[in-house]
Structures are given as C-alpha cells and as structure tokens.
C-alpha cells in the first residue's frame, strides 16, 4: 500500500513506530513534557523531550481500522534520562486518511 493510504488489517511495525514517533514529535513541538518537582516551599519545573528509539509489536487486535496493540518501545527523555528505557504498554491506533495515528 502507498503511504497515507488505508490498508486492511492491523498495523505493522513501521506503522506503529511512525504513529508513536509522530505523537511524541507533536508533544515535543508543544514544549515537551513538564514535571513539577516542587514541594509546598518551592516549585521547580523540569522540561524534557521524548525520543523514540525503536518499537516491537507483540500482538494487535481490532477491526474497522482501529487496533489495540501490545508493544514494547525504547525511549529516552533528555535531559532527565539519556539512556533509552524499555517500556511495555498498549497503544490504540487508527488507520485514517493521513495514515496510522495513535489515539490518546
């Protein structure tokens, strides 16, 4: 299938990687993630960006262009954590006119 075209069936590894990468890039473009590390006496915000390194799909289930996939991805969070961390989670993806997208 051509990029951006709807396909039948679950997303492949490339589709999932692209959807998650786009999601993180959108978050990063909006200023990244901020964590308030303050207590009652003082507040400190730390800003970091998420960098996706790779994605592994364990399985996907769904239909009608919406799939829930069990995945593991590796991401780093500079400047908080430069070494990639392995995270196992579920991702819900939709195959729409612009290609596969992660649904929050």
The pair of structure tokens assigned to 40 is: 């009652």
Confidence of residue 47 (pLDDT cuts 50, 70, 90): confident
Edge to edge, the sheet with strand 51-63 lists 51-63, 66-77, 81-96, 99-103
pLDDT of residue 62: 96
Question: Could you tell me which residues come within 8 angstroms of residue 16 by beta carbon, excluding any fewer than 6 positions away?
Answer: 55, 57, 69, 71, 91, 93, 100
pTM over 0.85? The answer is no
Rounded CA separation 50/54 (Å): 12
**Across residues 31-59, what is the average pLDDT?**
78
Average pLDDT, the chain: 86
Lowest model confidence (mean pLDDT) among 45-49, 72-76, 77-81: 45-49
C-alpha distance from residue 57 to each of 12, 48, 71, 79, 94 (Å):
8, 26, 5, 27, 15
| Percent of the chain whose pLDDT exceeds 90 | 63
pLDDT of residue 10: 94
Q: How many CB atoms lie within 10 A of CB 78?
A: 12
Confidence of residue 21 (pLDDT cuts 50, 70, 90): very high
């Amino acid at each position: 299938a051509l990029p951006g075209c709807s396909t039948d069936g679950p997303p492949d590894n490339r589709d999932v990687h692209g959807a998650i990468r786009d999601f993180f890039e959108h978050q990063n473009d909006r200023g990244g993630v901020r964590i308030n590390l303050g207590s009652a006496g003082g507040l400190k915000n730390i800003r970091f960006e998420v960098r996706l390194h790779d994605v592994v799909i364990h399985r996907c289930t769904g239909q009608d262009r919406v799939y829930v996939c069990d995945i593991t991805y590796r991401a780093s969070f500079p400047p908080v954590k430069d070494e990639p961390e392995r995270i196992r989670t579920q991702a819900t993806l939709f195959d729409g006119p612009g290609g596969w997208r992660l649904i929050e």
